[in-house]
Amino acid sequence: MKIVVSWLKEYCPTDLSSEELAELLTAKGAEVEEIERPWDRLKGVVVARVLEVRDHPNSDTLCLARVTTGDGEREVVVGVRNMKPGDLVP
């Protein structure tokens, strides 16, 4: 069975690291075989927070989105209309 640690911590609040939690669970009889960190394979992916979305002045199908990645704001042209301020996008 695979369990997301953040879900587990919703029901059993703890400050233990994933490794410490795995040791404790194994000691109590629920063996943890492995801790997966799929995000470690995502090198180079930048996530931006959407600050504003507005229509592109020269297109009916494109939008302009003002986003921040933590190192400043940028304006990008996007082809989707289902994003809103506060969304996190790759």
Instruction: Tell me, letter by letter, the H, E, C secondary structure of 31-43.
Output: CCCCCCCHHHHCC
- Residue 67, Cβ density class (10 Å: 0-12 exposed, 13-18 middle, ≥19 buried): buried
- Residue 65, Cβ density class (10 Å: 0-12 exposed, 13-18 middle, ≥19 buried): buried
pTM of the model: 0.57
Report the range of poorest mean pLDDT among 5-9, 48-52, 72-76, 82-86.
5-9
pLDDT band at 6 (very low <50, low <70, confident <90, very high): confident
C-alpha 44/C-alpha 79 separation (Å) is 22
More confident residue, 21 or 66: 66
